[in-house]
Amino acid sequence: MVSEAPTGTTHASTPAPNGKGALRLMAVHAHPDDESSKGAATMARYVADGVEVLVVTCTGGERGDILNPAMDRPEIKADIGAVREEEMARAREILGVRQEWLGFVDSGFPEGEPPPPLPEGCFALQPLEVAAEPLVRAVREFRPHVILTYDEKGGYPHPDHVKCHEVSVEAFEAAGDPDRYPGTGEPWQPLKLYYHMTFNKERLVALHGAMESAGLESPYGDWLKRFDDGPSPWAVTTRVPCADHFETRDQALLAHATQIDPNGFWFVCPLDLQREAWPTEDYHLARSLVDTELPEDDLFAGVREKVCL
């Protein structure tokens, strides 16, 4: 298996991967709950289609805040790492994916001016080759055709998200090279690397307009006012239709009860409006070793022709 989970165990919720001719998707995330807020409906859609899906979680989320007031209790705070591990177990079962931990320690989000130094030994402070080694091992073991991760800014500037981007790119580029990371398995070269574009402005505008048209108070107006209108280096290249799996996504989110308030932002926009206004999850194709035409509606465009012969 990839490495030890926070409590010293590894996890898989479906049989071992790598069936003949099977497509394989790996999603690399910084913390438990990230997999349910970014790309969850996409993963559920591909699981339903018979694709083997593995979520790799870099840290245990030990330094995360409790964001659901109903879960803000001393006994939960005292054992937050174990609680978040249990939440991850429920979420992966809901999504139908395999999931493994890299075993690094959450860096926390530094706040203040100037921000305090990151804690010694945390994920974000690991040398790149140390942080990437278990992910290279995971890539060589699972043999994904497609990898999902964050952009250079981490999607948002949490140090663990930025580090997650760095190790994902390193693993994508190194896993196929037999001279790099010796002792981590037989080389395997993934074919495509994508960045999540979940919170792109076009989507937020569409959801905001749908709620206003329905006579509902939109939570997106203030967000849009704060949105950076500068040019984005990461255009949306790929929109995956997955509206039929939005409910599964939401159930996986709710499994992370310390992080997700059921009365909060995530669930303000009704599912029927979401399905009508924006029925996709969106990505930027950052690397591709296969021919594909943009825009895409399938993460495996150009891959299926090579694998499913």
pTM of the model: 0.92
- What per-residue string of b and e applies to 202-219 under the rule 16 or more CB within 10 Å gives b? ebbebbbebbeeeeeebb
Report yes or no: 48 and 40 within 8 Å, Cβ to Cβ: no
Binding site residues for Zn(2+), as ranges? 31, 34, 161
Task: Indicate the average pLDDT of the chain.
Answer: 91
Weakest mean pLDDT among 31-35, 73-77, 255-259: 73-77
Instruction: Please say if the pLDDT value at position 226 is more than 90.
Output: no
- Conformational region of residue 81, where left means phi above 0, alpha means psi within -120 to 50, and beta covers everything else: alpha
The predicted pLDDT at position 2 comes to 35
Weakest mean pLDDT among 10-19, 48-57, 112-121: 10-19
Binding site residues, as ranges? 31, 34, 161
Structural domains in the chain, CATH included, are 24-197+281-299 (3.40.50.10320)
The predicted pLDDT at position 20 comes to 55
Q: Taking residues 244-249, what's their average pLDDT?
A: 98
